[in-house]
Amino acid sequence: MGLFPSVSDNFQTERAGVNALANFATSHGMIWRENMIKHVGIDGQIEYVTPEGKATGRLVAVQVKSGPSYFKHSST
């Protein structure tokens, strides 16, 4: 259908990687902030939260890599 834009497999793989990182951060009590603008390199930041639930302002910039070319071996 010519009315709709194409969605590449690469796009799906990138989104799966970013979503996996967001889920990891959330499940470990951290805050994930994804960059919503077009970018080169940094996909977002993770903020450390104390065990008491206090956001610390301590950020780590993250570039997410996903897909089979980024793994040397599979995990079980």
9-68 per-position pLDDT tens digit: 888 998 999 999 999 999 999 999 999 887 678 999 999 999 999 999 999 999 998 887
DSSP secondary structure code for residue 52 in this structure? T
Give pLDDT, residue 76: 55
Asked if the model's pLDDT at residue 73 lies above 90, the reply is no
Question: What span, in angstroms and rounded, lies between the C-alpha atoms of 67 and 72?
Answer: 11
Following CA atoms 9, 18, 28, 47 in sequence, which dihedral angle do they give, to the nearest 10 degrees? 180
Question: What span, in angstroms and rounded, lies between the C-alpha atoms of 65 and 30?
Answer: 19
Specify if 38 maps to a domain.
yes
Domain, as residue range, for 36: 29-65
Specify if 4 maps to a domain.
no
Give pLDDT, residue 37: 84
Give pLDDT, residue 75: 63
Give pLDDT, residue 46: 98
Provide the residue type at 70 as one letter. Answer: Y
Specify if 61 maps to a domain.
yes
